[in-house]
Structure 1
Amino acid sequence: MDILTILRQDYARFPIDQSYDIYAEDVYFQDPLNRFRGVKRYRQMISFIEKWFEHPTFELYALDRVDRAITTRWALSWNTPLPWKPRITISGKSELVVNESELIVSHIDYWDCSPFDVVKQHFRG
């Protein structure tokens, strides 16, 4: 199965049963809140989302590949476990780079909003 098909399937069932074997052991990950190396740490981040966020969904709008660069457009949504259960949404894009073995060596997420905008979503009327 090619990596684009695997990514489509992972987005559809996120955060359950992700395909961590498509990532290099020392994969670089970055988003507006995190920056680290290693598939182990990446797994921990996804496990945190699965454990603490309610009803997380990842909607994939675009998935393109040019040579070793993969770009996605998406929206991540969840309910925060607060008494009023606000539904939070972050839209953005990911830029992935694969090596010659077709393993992801870099995964950088860009959000269309600021982290503060995400916090504000918890308190909108």
Structure 2
Amino acid sequence: IYTQDIYFQDPVNKFKGKINYRIIFWTLRFHARLFFTDIHFDLHDVYQSAEDIITATWTVRGVLRVPWQAHILFNGYSTYKLNQDGLIYEHIDTWDRKPGEILQQFFRKGKAHK
């Protein structure tokens, strides 16, 4: 469903190419199992916001594998752009907070912070 030269961008990553796209998602799954005792990706809605754009809204939440059981929580949305053949050539993720704010959650004890 992706073009060979798919472009991906989120607040910390930017690259082009289907192989790199596969690697980033493999890396995310690997690190989720390594660093979290509990991790969830909640998909809230998927809709066609324009003829050539699909938008998905989501939340990431979890508990870090640290003695103080820090919680992480952030929301975002993904925008997928389709070419004339219906293949995804661009995937842009937007988060509801800056990466530094998300990282600060790693050092807090207890419940997820909003």
Tell me the TM-score range normalised by the shorter chain.
Answer: 0.7 to 0.9
User: C-alpha distance in 2, partners of 1:27/1:80?
Assistant: 31
In structure 2, list runs of 5 or more residues that go unmatched.
Answer: 110-114
Q: Who wins on radius of gyration, i.e. which is larger? A: 2
Q: Percent identity?
A: 34
Name the CA distance, whole Å, in 2 between partners of 1:51 and 1:84.
Answer: 22
Equivalent pairs, count = 104
SS of equivalent to 1:122: helix
Runs of 4+ in 1 over 4 A off after TM superposition: none
Higher strand share: 2
1:52–1:81 CA contact under 8 A, matched in 2: no
- TM-score normalized by structure 2? 0.81
- The answer as to 2:19 corresponding to 1:40 is yes
RMSD of equivalent CA atoms? 1.5
Question: Gapped runs of 5+ residues in structure 1?
Answer: 1-21
Native 8 Å contact 2:43 2:58 kept in 1: yes
Q: 1:56 aligns with which of 39, 56, 75?
A: 39
Residues 52 and 81 of structure 1: CA distance in aligned 2, closer, same or farther (over 3 Å)? farther
SS in 2 for 1:89: strand
SS at match of 1:91: strand
* TM-score, normalised by the number of residues in structure 1: 0.75
